[in-house]
Structure 1
């Protein structure tokens, strides 16, 4: 993998091109196309969001009950330029004012990633601007820094990254200094929400629709299992999904769907809260963040905030627009990557899978 190679030509381009950009506050153009959202953002100095445009494909994929990679890739191609133009206009800026290009290059749907990466490389070459390749999960981490720009003063921290494809506990000491504390052994929490919604007959997107239904239900009505809740820092949600299927087969419609949804949601949230609490106690960290698409879940937000008060923690949970996939978080992560590591060579790879952190905290 070549993402850590520096490009002297790209760095020099940022120094002498585009109206003295390095002397002013750096504006980063972020690009995110890892799944089914086409997003472009302009972020200043890694912390001030000037624009963050997201074109969702939810309506396109709803007819299939899930994301179709080929459909997602084709629509990224169609939507990228209009989304970029809207982001620039909303930020009242032009491409000449952009000092850095940041793009998600891993992990995600390979075809979708390639659309954003190809566009980013073309822009970097045409504008003679430096470019940085950003890990998608690192972007989620930096959504918390957009929500609270004092976080760098509060390191180290423990982050719960919880989304459709990822559930991880990560220790963070600084940019690029991450350790994996725990991860799911099977389904991610977002997958558990989506698969549970499918079993309940709810439309796509499953997770948000299940949570909406759960708001009118009794979370104590059914005692679903809390997988691995008393063991270590890893997660497991596959048993919960099986328990739901078994319950529905036996129940035959006797219990209201709202009660089932509420009980199922509570089982997922209980585990997430318990694991983050255990990670914080084990590491002694007093700062935590919860990021990723599932962090927009209202029950999870309430429970996490209550836990933070009980433990005396500084907790950051970004607003919902920063929880789901978006380019502002990629721009923020890219800014700090550039400051720490410099620019990447234009030959960097695009990868469908790549871990954010591969070592355990001692």
Structure 2
């Protein structure tokens, strides 16, 4: 059965399956990718309340979800995604043999529509497969064509709808913050009486990074009014965080590379405000209760921006041309990594921050 007319038609005609005891979800991506799938996973849990939902993911998924209430019952680490371990042919053959012995009723692909991902899903030998089809790859049982410029939360809800899961178009991801998350964050950022504001200047794509001096200006403005500034990031982004700390006149605590993903959840749950140019961090912060300001290139806003404005403010750059060579970046990169969001001013972000903090 194929659903290649439109997403809306697919959602309308795709039905719930019977006798579903076990569901595999292939989502072996980064933490931000997982956050975007949460509303779809909640919909699957609601639709198939007695089924076991097994996430095929990475080591970090297993550590993060261990003991944490979520739609996921169990995590199986995909060999090719184990941290710093090369995978040989025997690892994958062993993995697929064990997954086929699981006898999955459903297998859903929640990564992308590449040919390799579809082939991987089919090797699980589930009763029914669903996801995005690659034009030149093997076809899944229930599928949609992959399209760009769609919000990631809605994208995965459409995939869940292919197997009958009812979804809400305004779904906000939610995560349970655990005591261990807070304990880790408190070991790194001790409690005091000052309200916390997190600045997260990193981004996987340098073209979506707001200039460091702008982050520093915002941090100084908020520190002058009694906010405690903490700068977060990955270990690879520690130099960027150090640079901003040095640019600031006020003191700020640089914790880049010092927190696990669970510890970052704990820290963000303690924050009054999170300011980031990474859509995944903005979504994570909103998941755990922080107000947010997101700094977005227009395409990133379409795919990962906040779905409501009650406690979240996006600032958007509509610059499409590379500032170095003038090449339009909408459909094809030129290779330069210059920022495309420099035209967002620090003053408008400061004003947005005070609007949220006073609310």
Question: Whose relative contact order is higher, 1 or 2, with alpha carbons under 8 Å and at least 6 apart?
Answer: 1
Higher helix share: 1
Same-fold call, TM cutoff 0.5: no
Q: TM-score, length-normalised on structure 2?
A: 0.31
